[in-house]
Amino acid sequence: MSTIRPEFSPSTQEPAVMHPQLLQMVEAARSQPMPEVAVDAETLHAAWKQRKRSHRTVLGSLVVAAAAAAIVTLAVPWSSSSTPSSDSSAALESIAVAPTVAQEATVSVDTTPATELADSVASAPPILSESITVQALEPSSVQPEVLGAHHLRLPTGWWSIDSVAAEPVQIEVGEQRLEIQRGHVQVRVAAEAVVDTQVLRGALVHLSSDGRVVARSGPSQTADAGPASAERATRRPARPGPDALAQEADEHLAAGRRGRAIKSLRRLVTQYPRSAAAPTALIDLGRLLDRAGRDDEARCAYGLFLQRWPQLSSAGEVRRAREALGEGSVRCRGLTPRR
């Protein structure tokens, strides 16, 4: 006797939600008023053209960088066949070319990770956010792989990653995962493993494979931390610099001292308005004030960010945060609300 197993065929009358309490929540979601779309066609077209131009710049720069890396690879063996006294200078000269070109290859604007597009869509390669700068600190024939707007895979080499994005930058090296939280970090990679890291600003978080935090490090103070930090490490400023104030705010926050964190960030933003740490500090200040219920001050902080850095990719997030607070009834003078 044969057993015929019917194919699973759900009834077309099958309700979408069966649990009555869940259905009540779903009905609340369905009844949410539909938003007015403020985007207009002209702005959209301009943004699309800008994205196209930036994409071409990145692709062109990557081609140039790859060509330069190939030239370096060929030039070094060639120079070694000449007289001993000219060997090292020729080699140094060759190596000196690559970092400059590699720097140009770090420009990236489009935040559309095209690998996220549907299968039916012809996808462009993902492009790094414009608020993240990646540099090769020594020549490398392989470029970092961009996996998303805030997501990179690093090959062998010595890399500098500087991010002013509010969203952490995800870094993959072999099986290891790192996260750069609003900072500047140098990472040395060899044989698909991280062999050294230097945190120049912000924080570097080491993650386990399931995303849990394994270790966290702040700015390094060692003198051999790399070219960008050597000068900073030997300086003893009379008053805390922007990086020190940012670190101070992080420590207050980690200890639950919200009020003191707000004070440190206010000092940073007002005393060092042009510093690299200022944009991120202003976003963090707005968030802390928001969470503390100090809505007027939060509006002023967000407004100041949008006034100073409207072009950064985090401007969208800041705009949303300010809109979520509503209009308010005060004007702002810098960070200070005035009635």
Partner 1 sequence: MARAKEAIGTAVLAAAQRGNPAAQAALFRAHKDDIARQVQRMTGNASVVDDLVQEVFIAAFSAMAGFRQDSQLETWLYRITANKVRNYWDAERRRQRREQQVGTLPREPVVTPEEEATAVEHRERLYAALGRLPHKLREAFTARAIENLSLAESSERLGVPVSTVSYRTRQAEARLCELLDLSPEVVR
User: What part of residues 78-137 is at the interface with partner 1 (CB under 8 A)?
Assistant: 112-114, 116-124
Nearest CA among 67, 59, 61, 58 for reference residue 141: 67
From residue 108, alpha-carbon distances to 65, 133, 180, 186, 281 in Å are: 14, 8, 18, 19, 23
CB of 313 to partner 1, least distance (A): 11
Q: What is the distance of C-alpha 250 from the center of its chain?
A: 18
C-beta closer to partner 1: residue 29 or 238: 29
CA atoms within 13 A on the CB side of 101: 22
Nearer to partner 1, 48 or 78 (CB): 48
Q: Please report whether residue 255 would count as binding partner 1 according to CB under 8 A.
A: yes
- Rounded Cα distance, 136 and 73, in Å: 15
Site for partner 1 in 194-223 (CB under 8 A): 205, 211, 213, 216
| Residue 174 dihedral angles phi and psi, to the nearest 5° | 55, -125
Give which of 287, 202, 283, 298 is closest to 245, Cα–Cα.
202
Q: Write out the binding residues for partner 1, residues 227-246 only, by CB under 8 A.
A: none
Among the candidate windows 1-9, 183-191, 220-228, 268-276, which touches partner 1 by CB under 8 A? Answer: 1-9
Q: How many residues bind partner 1 (CB under 8 A)?
A: 74
CA distance 192 to 190: 5
Q: Which is nearer to partner 1, 119 or 327 (CB)?
A: 119
Shortest spacing between CB 259 and partner 1, in angstroms = 11
Within 8 A by CB and 6+ apart from 303, the residues are: 322, 332
* Binding segment toward partner 1, per CB under 8 A, in 238-246, 273-281, 304-312, 318-326: 318-326
Q: Which of 143, 178, 169, 170 is nearest to 157 (CA)?
A: 143
| 296 scored as a contact of partner 1 (CB under 8 A) | no
Q: Is 74 in the site for partner 1 (CB under 8 A)?
A: no
How many CB atoms sit inside 10 A of residue 83's CB? 7
> In the range 128-187, which residues lie near partner 1 by CB under 8 A?
148-149, 167-168, 181
Residues 258-277 within binding reach of partner 1 (CB under 8 A): 258
Shortest approach of partner 1 to residue 295 CB, angstroms?
A: 9
N-terminal to C-terminal alpha carbon distance within the chain: 87
Would you say 123 or 336 has its CB closer to partner 1? 123
Sort strands 169-173 and 176-190 into parallel, antiparallel or unpaired: antiparallel
Nearer to partner 1 (CB atom), residue 22 or residue 230: 22
Q: With respect to partner 1, which residue has the nearer C-beta, 119 or 224?
A: 119
- Site mask for partner 1 (CB under 8 A), range 13-52, x = bound: -xxxxxxxxx-xxx-xxxxx-xx-xxx-xxxxx-xx--xx
Q: Is residue 268 within 8 Å of 278, Cβ to Cβ?
A: yes
Of 67-75, 130-138, 185-193, 320-328, which segment contacts partner 1 by CB under 8 A? 320-328
- For residue 224, report the phi and psi dihedrals to the nearest 5 degrees: -95, 30
Q: Which is nearer to partner 1, 96 or 292 (CB)?
A: 292
